[in-house]
Structure 1
Amino acid sequence: LGLGDAIDRNIPCEAHFENCFVKSVACGWWHTLASATSQ
């Protein structure tokens, strides 16, 4: 998840991105994908 650890999670968690604007997010059973632009 980019949270800085290796802990498995089965609930949504907030991920912080510095100097990025997330444009879209896609979630599946085994994946999450975020499309972002840098500022």
Structure 2
Amino acid sequence: MVDQLEGGSLHGMIWLNWIRLSGAMIPTVATLTWL
């Protein structure tokens, strides 16, 4: 049970980091596309 909780927590952290990375990348890509 503990391993499952840790796995879920780790997955959540990776997911949040991926969302943050995407949030930072999208405006950059959009800006480069419009240049």
TM-score scaled by length of structure 1? 0.17
Query: Comparing both structures, which one devotes a greater share of its residues to strand?
Result: 1
TM-score scaled by length of structure 2? 0.17
Say which one has the larger Rg: 2
Query: Comparing both structures, which one devotes a greater share of its residues to helix?
Result: 2
